Amino acid sequence: MQLKQIAVLEAAFNPPHLGHQDILQQISREFDEIVLIPRYQISHQVAMADFSDRLLMTKALVELFNFWQQQAGCRSVVIKVSDIARQIARQQQSVNAGCLLATLDKSYAEKSVCAEFTWIENVDSSAFHLHKTRLEESWYIDAELQHTELSRIELKQRCKILPIRKKQPIKSAEIRALIRDFSRPQAMFVSRFKNYLNTTIANYIYRRKLYGA
Protein backbone atom coordinates (compact mmCIF):
# COMPACT_ATOMS: atom_id res chain seq x y z
CA MET A 1 0.00 0.00 0.00
CA GLN A 2 1.12 3.53 -0.71
CA LEU A 3 1.92 5.60 2.38
CA LYS A 4 0.61 9.17 2.48
CA GLN A 5 0.78 11.94 5.05
CA ILE A 6 -2.69 13.48 5.26
CA ALA A 7 -3.60 16.72 7.05
CA VAL A 8 -7.20 17.07 8.23
CA LEU A 9 -8.64 20.55 8.77
CA GLU A 10 -12.17 20.43 10.18
CA ALA A 11 -13.89 23.79 10.57
CA ALA A 12 -17.25 25.47 10.12
CA PHE A 13 -15.97 27.46 7.12
CA ASN A 14 -18.80 29.85 7.91
CA PRO A 15 -17.55 31.55 5.78
CA PRO A 16 -14.16 30.37 4.50
CA HIS A 17 -11.78 33.31 4.85
CA LEU A 18 -8.19 34.45 4.46
CA GLY A 19 -7.31 32.98 7.86
CA HIS A 20 -8.14 29.52 6.51
CA GLN A 21 -6.07 30.34 3.45
CA ASP A 22 -3.17 31.26 5.72
CA ILE A 23 -3.38 27.89 7.46
CA LEU A 24 -3.20 26.15 4.07
CA GLN A 25 -0.15 28.25 3.24
CA GLN A 26 1.58 27.17 6.45
CA ILE A 27 0.97 23.44 6.06
CA SER A 28 1.00 22.97 2.27
CA ARG A 29 4.66 21.89 2.17
CA GLU A 30 4.37 19.38 4.98
CA PHE A 31 1.83 16.89 3.62
CA ASP A 32 0.98 14.79 0.58
CA GLU A 33 -2.69 15.75 0.84
CA ILE A 34 -4.88 18.11 2.84
CA VAL A 35 -8.53 17.32 3.51
CA LEU A 36 -10.87 20.18 4.41
CA ILE A 37 -14.06 19.11 6.20
CA PRO A 38 -16.83 21.69 6.59
CA ARG A 39 -18.92 20.96 9.68
CA TYR A 40 -22.45 19.82 9.02
CA GLN A 41 -23.93 20.78 12.39
CA ILE A 42 -23.38 24.11 14.09
CA SER A 43 -25.12 25.66 17.09
CA HIS A 44 -28.52 27.13 16.25
CA GLN A 45 -27.39 30.32 17.98
CA VAL A 46 -24.88 30.95 15.18
CA ALA A 47 -25.78 32.60 11.88
CA MET A 48 -25.07 29.70 9.58
CA ALA A 49 -25.01 29.48 5.81
CA ASP A 50 -26.47 26.30 4.36
CA PHE A 51 -24.02 23.39 4.21
CA SER A 52 -24.11 23.35 0.41
CA ASP A 53 -23.13 27.04 0.33
CA ARG A 54 -20.27 26.50 2.75
CA LEU A 55 -19.11 23.47 0.76
CA LEU A 56 -19.06 25.48 -2.48
CA MET A 57 -17.27 28.43 -0.87
CA THR A 58 -14.65 26.11 0.61
CA LYS A 59 -14.05 24.59 -2.82
CA ALA A 60 -13.67 28.10 -4.24
CA LEU A 61 -11.09 28.87 -1.54
CA VAL A 62 -9.09 25.80 -2.57
CA GLU A 63 -9.28 26.60 -6.29
CA LEU A 64 -7.95 30.11 -5.71
CA PHE A 65 -5.27 28.88 -3.33
CA ASN A 66 -4.05 26.37 -5.91
CA PHE A 67 -4.02 29.06 -8.60
CA TRP A 68 -1.94 31.42 -6.47
CA GLN A 69 0.45 28.60 -5.57
CA GLN A 70 0.97 27.80 -9.24
CA GLN A 71 1.54 31.46 -10.07
CA ALA A 72 4.17 31.66 -7.34
CA GLY A 73 5.86 28.49 -8.55
CA CYS A 74 5.27 26.74 -5.23
CA ARG A 75 5.03 23.00 -4.68
CA SER A 76 1.51 21.85 -5.42
CA VAL A 77 -0.29 19.74 -2.85
CA VAL A 78 -3.52 17.84 -3.32
CA ILE A 79 -6.27 19.61 -1.37
CA LYS A 80 -9.67 17.93 -1.14
CA VAL A 81 -12.93 19.30 0.22
CA SER A 82 -14.98 16.50 1.76
CA ASP A 83 -18.65 16.30 2.66
CA ILE A 84 -18.17 13.31 4.97
CA ALA A 85 -19.54 15.25 7.96
CA ARG A 86 -22.89 15.43 6.16
CA GLN A 87 -22.70 11.75 5.21
CA ILE A 88 -22.05 10.73 8.82
CA ALA A 89 -24.70 13.09 10.23
CA ARG A 90 -27.34 11.51 8.00
CA GLN A 91 -26.54 8.09 9.47
CA GLN A 92 -26.19 9.07 13.12
CA GLN A 93 -26.81 12.07 15.35
CA SER A 94 -23.28 13.06 16.37
CA VAL A 95 -20.24 13.81 14.25
CA ASN A 96 -16.95 13.74 16.12
CA ALA A 97 -13.29 13.53 15.19
CA GLY A 98 -13.26 9.77 15.71
CA CYS A 99 -16.04 9.24 13.17
CA LEU A 100 -14.37 11.54 10.67
CA LEU A 101 -10.97 9.85 10.96
CA ALA A 102 -12.45 6.34 10.76
CA THR A 103 -14.42 7.24 7.64
CA LEU A 104 -11.38 8.85 6.01
CA ASP A 105 -9.18 5.89 6.90
CA LYS A 106 -11.64 3.47 5.31
CA SER A 107 -11.87 5.63 2.18
CA TYR A 108 -8.10 5.73 1.72
CA ALA A 109 -7.71 2.01 2.46
CA GLU A 110 -10.18 1.24 -0.34
CA LYS A 111 -7.77 3.08 -2.65
CA SER A 112 -4.80 1.03 -1.35
CA VAL A 113 -3.44 4.02 0.55
CA CYS A 114 -2.06 3.75 4.06
CA ALA A 115 -2.93 7.17 5.46
CA GLU A 116 -1.14 8.73 8.40
CA PHE A 117 -3.40 11.52 9.61
CA THR A 118 -2.49 14.80 11.29
CA TRP A 119 -5.32 16.78 12.86
CA ILE A 120 -4.80 20.50 12.30
CA GLU A 121 -5.60 22.34 15.50
CA ASN A 122 -6.55 26.00 15.04
CA VAL A 123 -5.22 27.59 18.22
CA ASP A 124 -7.14 30.79 17.50
CA SER A 125 -10.52 29.10 17.77
CA SER A 126 -12.71 29.19 20.85
CA ALA A 127 -12.54 25.39 20.83
CA PHE A 128 -8.81 25.47 21.51
CA HIS A 129 -9.12 27.96 24.35
CA LEU A 130 -12.01 26.02 25.90
CA HIS A 131 -10.12 22.77 26.16
CA LYS A 132 -7.19 24.69 27.68
CA THR A 133 -9.46 26.10 30.37
CA ARG A 134 -10.74 22.61 31.14
CA LEU A 135 -7.18 21.32 31.65
CA GLU A 136 -7.44 19.10 28.58
CA GLU A 137 -10.16 17.06 30.24
CA SER A 138 -11.99 16.88 26.93
CA TRP A 139 -11.35 17.97 23.38
CA TYR A 140 -13.99 20.13 21.70
CA ILE A 141 -13.70 19.95 17.91
CA ASP A 142 -16.49 22.45 17.34
CA ALA A 143 -15.80 26.16 17.78
CA GLU A 144 -19.49 26.58 18.59
CA LEU A 145 -19.07 24.10 21.47
CA GLN A 146 -21.36 21.44 20.11
CA HIS A 147 -19.24 18.27 19.92
CA THR A 148 -17.69 16.86 23.08
CA GLU A 149 -17.54 13.15 22.35
CA LEU A 150 -13.85 12.56 21.79
CA SER A 151 -11.28 13.12 24.50
CA ARG A 152 -8.08 14.83 23.50
CA ILE A 153 -6.11 11.81 24.73
CA GLU A 154 -8.07 9.53 22.42
CA LEU A 155 -7.58 11.92 19.51
CA LYS A 156 -3.81 11.87 20.11
CA GLN A 157 -3.92 8.07 20.05
CA ARG A 158 -5.65 8.08 16.68
CA CYS A 159 -3.47 10.63 14.91
CA LYS A 160 -0.89 13.37 15.28
CA ILE A 161 -2.03 16.86 16.27
CA LEU A 162 -0.46 19.95 14.77
CA PRO A 163 -1.33 23.28 16.45
CA ILE A 164 -1.40 26.15 13.97
CA ARG A 165 -1.86 29.81 14.76
CA LYS A 166 -3.19 31.98 11.94
CA LYS A 167 -0.84 34.81 11.01
CA GLN A 168 -3.97 36.79 10.15
CA PRO A 169 -6.17 36.90 13.28
CA ILE A 170 -9.46 36.64 11.40
CA LYS A 171 -12.57 35.18 13.02
CA SER A 172 -15.66 34.05 11.15
CA ALA A 173 -18.01 35.50 13.79
CA GLU A 174 -16.53 38.95 13.28
CA ILE A 175 -16.93 38.67 9.51
CA ARG A 176 -20.57 37.64 9.87
CA ALA A 177 -21.24 40.60 12.16
CA LEU A 178 -19.59 43.02 9.73
CA ILE A 179 -21.56 41.61 6.81
CA ARG A 180 -24.82 41.95 8.70
CA ASP A 181 -24.13 45.61 9.46
CA PHE A 182 -22.80 46.57 6.01
CA SER A 183 -25.61 47.34 3.56
CA ARG A 184 -23.88 48.65 0.45
CA PRO A 185 -23.70 48.00 -3.34
CA GLN A 186 -21.80 44.88 -4.40
CA ALA A 187 -18.61 46.67 -5.50
CA MET A 188 -18.34 48.42 -2.13
CA PHE A 189 -19.17 45.18 -0.32
CA VAL A 190 -16.34 43.28 -2.03
CA SER A 191 -13.90 46.12 -1.39
CA ARG A 192 -14.89 46.35 2.28
CA PHE A 193 -14.07 42.70 2.91
CA LYS A 194 -10.87 42.39 0.86
CA ASN A 195 -8.84 41.92 4.05
CA TYR A 196 -11.11 39.10 5.21
CA LEU A 197 -12.41 37.26 2.13
CA ASN A 198 -11.15 36.57 -1.35
CA THR A 199 -13.12 38.26 -4.11
CA THR A 200 -14.86 35.12 -5.37
CA ILE A 201 -16.25 34.26 -1.94
CA ALA A 202 -17.23 37.86 -1.18
CA ASN A 203 -19.18 38.03 -4.45
CA TYR A 204 -20.82 34.68 -3.72
CA ILE A 205 -21.93 35.86 -0.26
CA TYR A 206 -23.37 39.05 -1.72
CA ARG A 207 -25.23 37.29 -4.57
CA ARG A 208 -26.66 34.66 -2.24
CA LYS A 209 -27.48 37.25 0.45
CA LEU A 210 -25.76 35.16 3.10
CA TYR A 211 -25.34 36.37 6.68
CA GLY A 212 -27.71 39.28 6.04
CA ALA A 213 -25.74 40.74 3.10
Q: Is the pLDDT of residue 68 over 80?
A: yes
Nearest to 79 by CA among 141, 13, 27, 114: 27
Name the residue ranges covered by the structural domains of the chain.
2-169
Q: Is the pLDDT of residue 130 over 70?
A: no
CATH topology of domain 2-169: Rossmann fold (3.40.50)
Q: Is the pLDDT of residue 123 over 80?
A: no
Give the number of other Cβ atoms within 10 Å of residue 166's Cβ: 20
H/E stretch holding 146: none
The lowest-confidence range among 102-111, 144-153, 173-182 is 144-153
pTM score above 0.95: no
Nearest to 35 by CA among 201, 159, 182: 159
